[in-house]
Amino acid sequence: MNNYDMRKLMRTKQALSLSKYLESLDLKLSFEIIFPKNRWPNIENEQSDEAMYYINQHHTVFQDSTENDFGIDYILGASTSADCWIHILKGRDEIVGYATNIFYELKNQKVNFFRVTFFKQSIRQLKIYPYLQDFRINLFPSDYIFSRTQNPVVYKIFKRFFSTYQMKIAPSLDGFDNKCLAIAKELGFEVDNDLIIKNAVRGIVAKNTPTIEGEINMLWNKINLNNGDVYLVVGYK
């Protein structure tokens, strides 16, 4: 990422809304944003003790959130490849939730990839997610929003989220624009024609991944969670 005016960023409408909501919970929660490739330019090849301090906390949050563990190497890859980290903090420095994003520009098209989002179970039901997502989408206004998921509930949340920004969702039972596939493939996502990435992760990420009856189930019948399949969910106009 290029240089950001952090003061200006933290004064945006979305940042102030997130901050105000966290304060309203009266749990000593706040948030911070870090641009790791600016702070540690060689982070993808070598991680300083300071960077590992944060990444180890990412690992702890992942374990608590998913009741699973893919190992520190998996977390390293997801964290060091990101352009930004957003941490939900308890007290001064305990990370209890985090999200990472990657930003792409391709032929005058911008893509904001919501790489991961995890909350410790202690804060999962506090409805922080909508405020966090609103902040993330406005960090890097884009033509496309990408996210990977095995979770049909997350898909439903993204569908509602995209609609507030007048965006459509792919995949969809109603079909979707093939430009979503074209952009994904050009960026190196190994998707099939249904926007499924096979063997993307090591089996089921979250042990208690929910199931949903109805139309969405028709989409989820196409992927094999035990095989580590995920959907690339795309928001587009």
171: confidence class by pLDDT, cuts 50, 70, 90: very high
**How much of the chain, in percent, has pLDDT values that exceed 70?**
99
Using H for helix, E for strand and C for coil, what is the string for the chain? CCCCCHHHHCCCHHHHHHHHHHHHCCCCEEEEEECHHHHCCCCCCCCCHHHHHHHHHHHHHHHHHHCCCCCHHHHHHHHHCCCEEEEEEECCCEEEEEEEEEEEEECCEEEEEEEEEEECCCCHHHCCHHHHHHHHHHHCCCCEEEEEECCHHHHHHHHHHHHHCCCEEECCCCCCCCHHHHHHHHCCCCECCCCEECCCCCCCCCCCCCCCCCHHHHHHCCCCHHHCCEEEEEEEC
Calpha distance 161→170 (Å, rounded): 13
161: confidence class by pLDDT, cuts 50, 70, 90: very high
- In this prediction the pTM is 0.95
Calpha distance 58→52 (Å, rounded): 9
- Mean pLDDT score, 163-178: 95
**pLDDT for res 2:** 59
**What does residue 102 show for φ and ψ, rounded to 5 degrees?**
-120, 135
Closest of 164, 188, 184, 165 to residue 176, by C-alpha: 184
**How much of the chain, in percent, has pLDDT values that exceed 90?**
91
**pLDDT at 140 exceeding the cut of 60:** yes
**pLDDT at 198 exceeding the cut of 80:** yes
Q: Write the CB contacts of 72 (distance below 8 Å, at least 6 apart in sequence).
A: 55, 56, 59
Calpha distance 63→69 (Å, rounded): 5
Q: Which domains does the chain have, with CATH numbers?
A: 1-142 (3.40.630.30), 151-237 (no CATH)
- Mean pLDDT score, 84-89: 98
- Mean pLDDT score, 58-63: 98
Interval 25-42: pLDDT, tens? 999 999 999 999 999 999
- Mean pLDDT score, 189-214: 91
